[in-house]
Structure 1
Amino acid sequence: MPATERERTYTWSDPASTAGQHVSLSGLEFIRALAEGALDHSPSARTLGFRVVDAGHGTTTIRLVPAEYHYNAVGTVHGGILTAILDSAMGFAISTTLPEQTGYTTLDLNTQFLRPVSIRTGPIEAVGSVVHIGRATATARGEIRTSEGKLCATATTRCMLFRPDRSP
Structure 2
Amino acid sequence: MPRTRTYTWQDPSVSASAVGGTTGLEFMRGILEGRLPAPPFAATLGVDLEEVAPGRAVFALTPGEEHYNPLGGVHGGVFATLLDSAAGCAVHTLLPAGAGYTSIDLTVKFLRPVTAATGRVRAVGTVLNSGRRTALAEARLLDAGDRLLAHATSSCMIMPLPGAGNGSGPAPSS
TM-score (norm. length: structure 2): 0.91
Shift of 1:165: 2.8
Residue 50 (structure 2) aligns with: 53
* Alignment partners' CA distance in 1, 2:8 and 2:159: 31
Once residues 101 and 65 of structure 1 are traced to their aligned partners in structure 2, the CA distance between those partners, rounded to angstroms, is 34
Residue matched to 2:121: 124
Q: Distance in 1 between matches of 2:35 and 2:114?
A: 30
Gaps of 5+ in 1: none
Matched with 1:9 is 6
Find the counterpart in structure 2 of residue 165 from structure 1.
169
Q: Does structure 2 conserve the Cα–Cα contact (< 8 Å) formed by 1:110 and 1:155?
A: yes
Distance 1:132 1:126 in 2: 18
User: In percent, how many aligned pairs have the same letter?
Assistant: 43
1:104-134 Cα offsets, whole Å, 9 max, x none, are 0000000000001111000000000001111
Cα distance in 2 for partners of 1:31, 1:23 equals 11
Structure 1 position 88 matched with structure 2 position 85: yes
- What does residue 60 of structure 2 align with? 63
Contact kept in structure 2, 1:36 and 1:53, CA below 8 Å: no
What's 2:20 paired with? 23
RMSD: 1.0
The offset of 1:146, in angstroms, is 0.4
SS of equivalent residue, structure 1 residue 116? coil
Q: Which runs of 5+ in 2 are unaligned?
A: 161-167
Q: Return the match for 2:104 from 90, 103, 107.
A: 107
Q: SS where residue 19 of structure 2 aligns?
A: helix
2 CA distance for matches of 1:75 and 1:157?
Answer: 28
1:144, 1:154 within 8 Å by CA — same for their partners in 2? yes
Give the secondary structure class of the aligned counterpart of 1:89.
helix
Decide which of 117, 131, 136 is 1:134's aligned counterpart.
131
TM-score by length of 1: 0.94
Once residues 5 and 52 of structure 2 are traced to their aligned partners in structure 1, the CA distance between those partners, rounded to angstroms, is: 29
